[in-house]
Structure 1
Amino acid sequence: MGVVADAAPVRRRWRVTIADIPVAGKLALVLILPLAGLLGLAGVAASGYAAQSGRIGDLRGAVAAGAQAGLVTDGLQRERLALARLLGGDGSRDAFATEAAGTDAAVARFRAAAAHVDGGAALARAVDGLDGLDLLRARASDTSGQLVLLGYRQLIADLVAFQQGIAERPAPPAVTAAIRAAGWLAEAGEELALVQLGTLRALAAGELTPADRDDVTAHRAAAAGAFERFTAAATPAWRAQLAGLSLDVERPAPAATDAAGLARTSLAQLDGLRVLADRVAADNAAAVTDARDRQNRTIILGLAAVLLVAAAAVWLAVAVGRSQRRGLRALLQAPAAELTAGGRDEVGRVTEAFNAVRREAARAAADQAALRTGMSGAYADLARRSARLADALLERLDDVERDEADPDRLATLFAADHLATLLRHDNHSLLVLAGAGTAREHAAPVPLLDVLRAAQSQIEAYQRVEYGRVDDAVAVEPAAVDGVVHLLAELLDNAARHSPADRPVVVEARHIGDGATIQVADRGPGVDPARLEELNGRLADPAPFGPRPGLTVVARLAARHGLDVTLVPSPHGGLVAAVRLPPALIVPALPVPVPGVPARPLPPRVLERSPALPGAEPMDIPHPRKDGGRRPAVRAGVAADGPTVEARAFDGDPPRRTVESGPAPGSAPGPAPGPAPVSAPVEPDDVSDLLSTYQHAIGRFDAVTVPVNQEGHATS
């Protein structure tokens, strides 16, 4: 038929709506607002980063001005010391003039640096105070020397306050701490200079008055505190350089000795502090510059990333638009019914078609689910009805067998009993496939050997089952007994059907670690690795339905009880089905006493080792004996001297089970060695003895079974 024409003609409209815009245009509309918002946010962020970078640049200028303020402070301290010596009669005017000239040069550099800094009130006070420095020097000859020295102290205090105020500006935490350390160093230097000045005045006066001593002591304490704060915030290099200056600020005020020597010591200490202050200022300037450079790099990289994202978004939108247009146009050319769309674009047309297909698919899925649910319920009902009929048949067979003494007719009844048991097993498989729970429960754990025998009794070729090593020291939890028995029966039946009729199916069960492992080995042709991997996958993840119901039953029972079932190639040919029982399903096995049965040993006979699996050793199997019992059954013997049992297959009458007792074990030893053949006449008393012996073998399994109704609830 070819290409189908467009759907019903669309009435022309002059007004264009969003539904009429092509896919590429819609993508552009969708992309415009996010891109605009992204660029706007990027602009705001860049503006903020730029402002922060500008503040860091201002901080760099303030740090440079602070360094010049430190030089002015050092010059004023030296000038003040020279003036004190001059006033005390120990100095000269030339020395004072030399220090004043150095101070003037430092003031000029400070003014030049401060002109480019918005330093606030602290900087203004420092600059204005320096304007009166010449007047202060002129008053030194006609005014009290104490007042002049106080004037110097005020100028230095304003400069120190400006240096300490720089740390209040916004900056990274590390930079702020370093700038604050520089301010504390300036304060410590001034306090130390005041200590030296007070001592020098005492030397000039010839005595250290109590007032002078208190003043010196106060300045020493202030200097010590400032040095301590500086040390806490200083870098290791700064602390090492400070330690090399040997500033003993804790030493008491010295007695009056030599003014000239004290002056030399004071100047040496000022020189050392000046060198340290210069290093601190240089390091701070470098740190601020590095912070500014990092901020600038952040701005550049951020803008580049935003532009790259925007370009990538545009490119991706163009690529997606082109791809969608090509795909939608190809879909529109496929055969389809007429489409009714809300818009004229390709997406609107495909949406209508997809919605219709989805509605049909949803309706079909709902119908299929309802059909599957109904069929599952029907299967479950039929299985329960058939199970009830099988149970009724088994009860009738029990009644007939109980009164039958003829061995030939009794063997026929045993065969019919076994067929009814197989029928009930198939009914339980249908219940598992239908998702229904088991209709049985047990009152106590069941030994592992009895579980294996019960599984053996539920297959047709029970005579071919042989036992290797079986650890009978463990038992299966009551809630999982029926599920494990049914699962093992499916594996045994599968192994028997897919292996030669003259070869045995060998079962081993071992208690390994805190769990148990059961192995079912056959001598069949095996399967190729790909098929084996597929089967293991189906066992691990059971499908709702499948072409192999037995495999599905095994997978569902394994998932229900937390079992791990794996198929592996056997070294002797065929396959080995390994079933791992988790610790939650395993308990120690306890012997279940059978009332009225005396425990007496019987003469044993030795069977050779089973060849199917390694690790099986010869064992002793007791001969039949007389015991009380309710019904005949076929059981393998249990070794009297330990929990491990090894036995060969049973070649006698078929096993059977009743609705009260649950799955009966299926493998049993053959008749005791004797001269009489199977076809020889058997007396009724001998039949009763044989049935009593069988009953003793199944007593351990029957004693822990609780009858239940058809809904799966225990009956009293």
Structure 2
Amino acid sequence: MTGDNSARWPWWGAVADWRNWRLPVKLAAVLAVPVLVAVGAGVVQIRGYVKASEGYSAMQRMVTLRAGLDPLITAVQAERAFAARRGENAGVDARRFKELTRATDTAAAGVHNLIERTTSLGEVTNARFRDVTVQLDGLPQLRERLAAGSVDLASAIGAYSVVLRALLDFDQAMVGDFGDPALSGTATALHNLAMAGEQMSWQHATVLAGISRGALLDDERTMLEQSWTRQQDKLADFSAVATPQQQAEYRATVAGGDVDGRNGLLQLVRDDPEVVRGGIDLDVWHDGSVGTSRQLGIALRSLEDQLTRAATRLQDETSDRAGAASVILLASLFAAGAVGFVVGRNLLRSLRALRGAALDVARHRLPTLVAQLRENAAPDVTVDPVPVHTTDELGQLARAFDAVHRQAVSSAAEQAELRTAMRNAFINLSRRSQGLVERQLRLMEELERQEEDPEQLAGLFKLDNLATRMRRNNENLMVLSGSDVARRFTRPVALADVLRAAASEIEQYQRVVVQATPSVEVVGYAAGDLVRLVAELLDNATTFSPPSTQVVVGGRARPGGGVLVDVLDAGVGMSEEDLAVANRKIALATADDSAELPVSRQLGLYVVGRLAGRHGIQVALREQGEGVRAVVALPAELVR
């Protein structure tokens, strides 16, 4: 049963196995209960504040939308007034009309963008905006008729008024979305003032139309009186909901010569509609109405600013309350976790220091020390103690680790000293043996010159070859020990001579065929090492091929400079895997002089790699028919 549950819910097994929890998890588990209680107590209160803050943030976006609605209302009213100034069934100034329509379209696009960012509108408000969209979509057709002069003044004013009525209905619907009393009063006052402003704008356009045609229509006279009444009603509604300060600001703003002059002219028209027939100057009426609308716009923007500040203040207050509650909650959590933090802090710090020191020793200090010892450097064997200086169990563990570290360093140093001593012993023995072999070779050369018996002379030649091979083995020991070989050439040596010298240093030199080579010379400092390198390859080739076969060695020019030396046998060959292993061993010895020595059967390849690495020579073994081809690539700087 337990096994089935572990298979179904692996996380449950991890939770149940609490002994393997990380130490921070164990400490956190101890503090979980008080933390959960504190979080549960504070989340409910914070959530309420956040929700209220989001509501005020949504109202801020509606205030921004309301502020963006004003330019659209003003632009449509300006189009209506411009259309009313033309003569009856006359066209319009295309250039000026295009400027006005462009302003309207820009304002409409701005409102659409604000609507897309305002997601808190109610159902009624969204329906009213759809009505606005329908009316705005009809403006292009109305403008075409105006441009063609195919619509009379009254119809044009009426068509624009329908658009403005839809905009103001949308504004009224937004007022209903301001649910907070601190905002709804100013929003209502703002709407009432906008409604009064629309009546003033309609009066402006209607009187302009009457002056343009020379008379007011009967319906226009009646509607003018009704508009005046609605204007006064909306101003009264504004005064009923506006604060005394807002009323005072309105009276101070919407006042002056333009307002008084406009109101006086409007009263003349109301008293005697026939006065529009030459009794009122069109520009005077237009300028006065525009000035009054401008002052009314200032009052509207002031109310909008007040509404924005109020929404921002309320949003900030609720945000501050949420922040304060969050701070209290966090302080409670901190107090609950303080005890656990104080108790666990030193424990975690000590464990981390111990772990970091152990990893540093394993990954950096010991490998660096071993590398320095391999390079015969004088490493720093000082052991820095783990930075845990307490006397508790962790402190005792740190001191035990220091003891292990010191012993590891001491053992590494002893091993390095032993390797150095062995290396020096090999070098000394090789040099002493080398000296004896050189003396033996000189003695044999002297005997060969003095001997006339062919059989005796042949025996001396065999001894000479054997001594030469002994010298090569001594030199290989010196190479493996990391020492330079004393036998060097002071002058460049022909490549053919190098290959013949290499063949003479192996046992079965009779089987080696030296083919024609390029007429190049090998620089003196590399010629001796190249002789030993090729000799090792020839020795391998003759050893691992039938005695009846020949081993061919030759050279050829290398594309791009340098020379390629080929050693080809017809032996048993090597598998792809064995070739890869052999090439890898050569490459390892070429790249790293400190690589570990291989077993005895691989010493020849190791010597080849060591010698090649000294001069930047590349060596590779390849399959060639039934045998193996060894390719030695000499760089251009080694040949002349």
- TM-score band, normalised by the shorter chain? 0.3 to 0.5
Q: Which structure has the highest helix share of the two?
A: 2
Q: Give me the TM-score of the superposition, normalised by structure 1.
A: 0.42
Bigger RCO (CA 8 Å, 6+ sep)? 1
